[in-house]
């Protein structure tokens, strides 16, 4: 490994190496890459193992889908599901960046949400987000140099089926709510969770919506709409995504998922996937 770094640095400085040295260096690098990829594949299995499966959604909702496409082996996006007492909870988070560091952040986020919701008496979504924010900040060492630690964009919803109400809190994310009468983007706070650099700007709050059976809710990261493609190789954009979801919202969720995958793949075409993608849709 160190020898390969030496060869690389010398090549940048214009030094010439014989073929045997370069050949051995290539073999070493190839072996390292294969070992690295093997580790990432194992990490991908473990990460997806802690995420709820479709069968868990089927137990709690009439209809639902999970569209989850990591940019590489592991993802910086996550989704979470739980039932406690009379409430059902669902959350979707998007950690800073993607790859290994963001994937590690998802594991932290999932663990902390489980602790906050399942091991305490906290029930309101704004209190859950406030506690998550505080715990993430306390996880990283504070520095006067204002170290740019990772944070999480997240939406969390509490569903009260008995009173036909949803309570929600968003942190730098929006959710699409579709009812029989209208469509609405739901948002409460523009600041992410864990971003102590913006401490003075953060004020997490919640809102409540009365719903009817059959209404639909869509939560996700920004990876889908940020994908470059199309004839002009531009971002797909949230407007196009929301319009598509609205147009297909009458379908069964599994068919909506197929339609969205088709839109994404068609738009992306031969382009590189720029970010992790996660969209969760549920029928209330």
- Give the domain ranges of the chain: 55-283
92: closest CA among 276, 284, 215? Answer: 276
C-alpha to C-alpha distance for 181 and 74, rounded to whole angstroms: 39
Q: For the packed helices 19-50 and 100-118, what is the interaxial angle rounded to 10 degrees? A: 20
| Residue 250: CB atoms within 10 Å | 10
Average pLDDT of the residues of the chain: 87
Q: For the packed helices 19-50 and 2-12, what is the interaxial angle rounded to 10 degrees? A: 120
Global pTM exceeds 0.85: yes
How many degrees, rounded to 5, is the angle at CA 235 between CA 63 and CA 223? 45
Cβ distance 246 to 218 under 8 Å? no
Query: What is the structure's pLDDT at 101?
Result: 81
How many degrees, rounded to 5, is the angle at CA 206 between CA 202 and CA 209? 150
Q: Which two tokens stand for residue 159?
A: 């569903």
| DSSP helix, strand, coil percent of the chain (3-state; round to 5) | 40, 25, 35
Phi (first) and psi of residue 100, to 5 degrees = -65, -50
Please report where in the chains the tokens 């594991």 appear, as a residue.
Answer: 107
Non-local (6+) Cβ contacts of 57 within 8 A are 64, 66, 81, 282
Query: What is the structure's pLDDT at 25?
Result: 65
Cβ distance 68 to 78 under 8 Å? no
C-alpha to C-alpha distance for 41 and 249, rounded to whole angstroms: 34
Instruction: Give the Å distances, CA to CA, from 266 to 227, 247, 254, 270.
Output: 11, 17, 18, 9
Phi (first) and psi of residue 144, to 5 degrees = -70, -15
Q: Which two tokens stand for residue 203?
A: 């004020």
Query: What is the structure's pLDDT at 13?
Result: 66
245: closest CA among 196, 183, 181? Answer: 183
70: closest CA among 55, 54, 51, 91? Answer: 51
In the predicted model, residues of the chain with pLDDT beneath 70 are 1-18, 21-31, 33, 36-37, 40, 43, 141-149, 196-201
Specify the CATH class of 55-283 in words: alpha beta
């Amino acid at each position: 490994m160190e020898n390969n770094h030496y060869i690389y640095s010398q090549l940048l400085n214009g030094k010439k190496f014989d073929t045997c040295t370069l050949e051995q260096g290539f073999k070493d690098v190839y072996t390292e890459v294969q070992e690295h990829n093997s580790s990432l594949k194992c990490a991908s299995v473990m990460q997806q193992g802690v995420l709820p499966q479709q069968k868990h959604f089927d137990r709690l909702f009439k209809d639902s889908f999970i569209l989850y496409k990591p940019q590489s082996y592991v993802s910086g996006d996550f989704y979470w599901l739980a039932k406690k007492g009379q409430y059902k909870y669902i959350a979707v988070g998007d950690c800073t960046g993607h790859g290994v560091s963001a994937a590690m952040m998802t594991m932290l986020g999932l663990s902390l949400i489980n602790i906050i919701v399942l091991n305490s008496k906290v029930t309101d979504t704004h209190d859950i987000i406030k506690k998550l924010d505080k715990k993430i900040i306390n996880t990283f060492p504070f520095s006067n140099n204002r170290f740019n630690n990772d944070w999480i964009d997240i939406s969390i919803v509490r569903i009260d089926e008995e009173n036909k109400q949803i309570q929600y809190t968003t942190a730098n994310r929006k959710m699409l709510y579709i009812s029989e009468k209208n469509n609405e983007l739901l948002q409460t706070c523009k600041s992410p969770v864990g971003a102590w650099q913006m401490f003075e700007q953060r004020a997490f709050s919640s809102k409540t919506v009365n719903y009817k059976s059959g209404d639909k809710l869509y939560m996700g990261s920004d990876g889908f709409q940020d994908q470059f493609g199309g004839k002009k190789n531009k971002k797909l954009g949230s407007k196009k995504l929301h319009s598509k979801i609205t147009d297909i919202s009458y379908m069964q969720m599994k068919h909506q998922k197929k339609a969205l995958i088709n839109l994404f793949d068609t738009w992306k075409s031969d382009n590189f996937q720029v970010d992790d993608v996660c969209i969760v849709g549920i029928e209330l």
